Amino acid sequence: MRIGSGWDLHHLKAGRPLILGGIIIPSLRGEEAHSDGDVLIHAIIDALYGALGDGDIGSHYPDTDPAYKDVSSMRLLDDTLTHMGERNIINLDSTIILDEPKLRPYIDTIRKNLADAMHLSIGQVSIKAKTSEHTALDVISAQAVVLLS
């Protein structure tokens, strides 16, 4: 068994799409980033590389590399899964911290999209959403923990 944890944070910017787990969420602001800014997938990728003991998202997909400009984080996740070789994901648990918009209506859609992308059942993919209690209105952050066998 190997456990990994990941965390990420992005500024929110007007006119950018808000993308979480590969799903576009209706919002006036989205993640400011070199890539598509999918903060949830970035935390998951860091958790996976952490469990592998093999660096982090920045060492595998540097944001100074033009190849990753506006890249879909789903593509990076797919590449990360190929790095895992024969290892299996037992479960994934994650938390998104965002004040607006409320994410509850979209959580199951995100879970399903991630479960499909990671070849998992929806019961293996937990996504929770919290607010910052208005202490961090201009950012979105996400935490993820994975267990590999």
In the complex, the smallest distance separating the C-beta of residue 138 from Mg ion, rounded to whole angstroms, is 15
Single out the residue of 20, 22, 27, 42 in contact with Mg ion (rule: CB under 5 A): 42
In the complex, the smallest distance separating the C-beta of residue 115 from Mg ion, rounded to whole angstroms, is 21
Taking CA 109 as the corner, what is the angle to CA 54 and CA 148, rounded to the nearest 5 degrees?
25
Cα distances (Å, whole numbers) of residue 46 to 38, 78, 145: 12, 13, 9
Closer CB to Mg ion, 57 or 118, in the complex:
57
16 interacts with Mg ion by CB under 5 A: no
Closer CB to Mg ion, 29 or 42, in the complex:
42
Instruction: Determine if the peptide bond prior to 17 is cis (ω within 30°).
Output: no
Partner residues linked to 95 by β-bridges: 128, 143
Residues that bind Mg ion (CB under 5 A): 8, 42
